[in-house]
Copies of this chain bind each other. A is one copy, B any other.
Amino acid sequence: MKKLINNPDNVVRESLEGMALAYPDLIKVDFDPHFIYRADAPIPGKVALVSGGGSGHEPMHSGFVGMGMLDAACPGEIFTSPTPDQMLEAIKRVNSGVGVLNIVKNYSGDVMNFEMAAELAYSEGIPVFNSLIDDDVAVKDSLYTQGRRGVGTTVLAEKICGAAAEQGYNLQQLAELCRRVNLNGRSMGMALTSCTTPAKGSPTFDLSEAEIEVGIGIHGEPGRQRMSIKSADEITEMLALSIIEDSAYQRTVREWNQQQGEWVDRELIDSPFEQGDSVLAFVNGMGGTPLSELYIVYRKLAEICEKKGLKIVRNFVGSYITSLEMQGCSITLLKMDDELIKYWDAPVKTPCWRWGI
């Protein structure tokens, strides 16, 4: 294993220390338990947004803490869920009194721990809502998940809901907005290579020199199919068509009812893509992919969207939700409307994403 690290046990902590040194005007970091929060939190009158998950997917989430996105992020160890106490401390630190929206990727550990944190916050009188992201069309159940995994749409939800929170949306409005982003968004990824976590020191999975894994998860979870290497155009077509043609996915989601202090089941169904839809096209690198290759993927994706009658009204190309140094990409398509476009375009100022300010 060759990495720019010191002790494998200290990777997350030292990386956070580096961030704290690099962005003292934007963020602060608390340790034991670890969380990153806006330097100016809590923001009076604003609903706070908290997210988190295993580390190793940077810049998500820690790089997206700041004006117009998250108020706090809770990083677990590499590819490991953060703990409820991290989440609770973060929630308490950024809560201004009008509530906290937790954006939770659908991985069993993240979901369970954010549910526990929500209950603890409720017991301390903090209004909380957990919004689930489960947008990965590759697999319905997987190693770490019941139902679909949460991937690329998470980044888009953090941007859009973060901007809406700045504009004064209350907790219920944000919960509805985040739910809509999730139902409008779908993703699928693939890997050319594996990645190596510092703790394990050897590749998370094995791929031969001539193989790729299509439908991979962001922790290297098995995908839909292992196959021989294909061209960028063929890979893009597999991912894009899987996303565009997936049937409306139906699932039961547990949502927190603040009034009654209990979890209630809610039936949710995806909003499939239709000819004439406006979409945001997000081509994401897995961490070790040259940017030039992502543009080759975008080139084909634009052609496919045009053929399918989907109008790309916004796009986003880069490595934003990664798996350490894994090579590969994921595609996310998000159905857009005026409200989503307005908040997508709004200013943002975080360590790893800044525009309009």
Where the two chains meet, the residues of A that have a C-beta atom closer than 8 Å to any C-beta of B are 2-6, 11-12, 14-19, 21-22, 55-56, 58-59, 63, 192-193, 209-210, 212, 229, 231-233, 235, 287-299, 302, 315, 317-318, 322, 324-325, 327-329, 352, 354-357
Contact = CB atoms under 8 A, between A and B. Distances in A.
A290 B21 contact: no
Nearest to A192: B2
Nearest to A63: B291
Given A22-B315, A22-B317, A357-B356, A4 B296 contact: yes
A212 B292 CA distance: 25
Contact of A292 (B11, B209, B327): B11
B296 A15 contact: yes
A10 to B, nearest CB: 9
A64 to B, nearest CB: 12
Contacts of A325: 288-290, 327
A110 B91 CA distance: 53
A290 B293 contact: no
Contacts of A56: 290, 292
Contacts of A17: 295, 299
B18 A299 contact: yes
Contacts of A318: 352
A99 to B, nearest CB: 30
B2 A295 contact: no
Nearest to A288: B288
Contacts of A235: 4
A229 B232 CA distance: 34
Contact of A294 (B4, B55, B232, B329): B4
Nearest to A191: B2
Contacts of A315: 22
A233 B10 CA distance: 12
Given A22-B317, A299-B18, A290 B355 contact: no
B192 A21 contact: no
Contacts of A329: 4
A154 B149 CA distance: 41
Contacts of A229: 2
Contact of A296 (B5, B292, B297): B5
A56 B14 CA distance: 30
A212 B59 contact: no
B354 A19 contact: no
A25 to B, nearest CB: 11
